[in-house]
Amino acid sequence: EAGVAQSPRYKIIEKRQSVAFWCNPISGHATLYWYQQILGQGPKLLIQFQNNGVVDDSQLPKDRFSAERLKGVDSTLKIQPAKLEDSAVYLCASSPKQGRTDTQYFGPGTRLTVL
Amino acid sequence: ELKVEQNPLFLSMQEGKNYTIYCNYSTTSDRLYWYRQDPGKSLESLFVLLSNGAVKQEGRLMASLDTKARLSTLHITAAVHDLSATYFCAGRMIKAAGNKLTFGGGTRVLVKP
């Protein structure tokens, strides 16, 4: 079974530029999550989708971050404009709709450096 | 709001010895996850603990959950170099919207020969 795919793996941009990340979840997984992991910290949930609807975006800085999940499969996360403090690894995860444990499966992440 | 704290933040282990990582959480959580992260890699699911007294074991790792004490532990038996990684615990609030997880800050483990 293919895992969660993310691209790009690395991105370096100047502050005030825009950037977008892409995620393809595990086939059949209805729920998709975007996390931000700052160096030395645990991941923090930014947004959660159930199919193509938003379940929780309470920690998404909506003035600069946006995310969408078209057709309930792939998702993109955008930052516009980026700030220095956005430097982090952005992790995408997915979990199946059914399942007692609702384990989240993580992708490899995109490491963003904002200069 | 659920808060999750791990300690220690860093653990230097000697091969062959036993160690424990502690995960405390602030409010009622209906499940507790343990993940492993190797440097530069993503998170790998280790255990999911669903009820009070739950114990799960895989190889040299054993996780347990005490919901009354709001404490989970990850015990490492006879540490080996391959276990060097950062370990995260994460909790989910009961009746949380969706399946939102709150992660601890991680415990970085380094096993020395």
Average pLDDT over residues B19-31: 88
- Provide the pLDDT confidence category of residue B100 given band limits of 50, 70 and 90: confident
Cβ pairs A/B, distance under 8 A: 57
Read off the pLDDT of residues A50-92 as tens digits, 9 standing for 90 and up.
888 898 899 999 999 999 998 889 999 999 999 999 999 999 9
pLDDT at B28 over 90: no
pLDDT at B94 over 70: no
Residues A28 and A43: their CA atoms lie apart, in Å, by 24
Instruction: Give the residue from A87, A88, A9, A77 showing the smallest Cα distance to A48.
Output: A77
Read off the pLDDT of residues A78-88 as tens digits, 9 standing for 90 and up.
999 999 999 99
pLDDT given for residue B97 in this prediction: 60
- List CB contacts (< 8 A) between B45 and chain A: 103-105
Q: Do B104 and A42 count as a contact with CB atoms less than 8 A apart?
A: yes
pLDDT given for residue B27 in this prediction: 79
Cα dihedral A84, A111, A6, B29, rounded to 10, equals -80
B101 interface with A at CB cutoff 8 Å: yes
B90 interface with A at CB cutoff 8 Å: yes
In the chain, the amino acid numbered B26 is S
pLDDT given for residue A8 in this prediction: 97
Q: Do B42 and A55 count as a contact with CB atoms less than 8 A apart?
A: no
pLDDT given for residue A105 in this prediction: 92
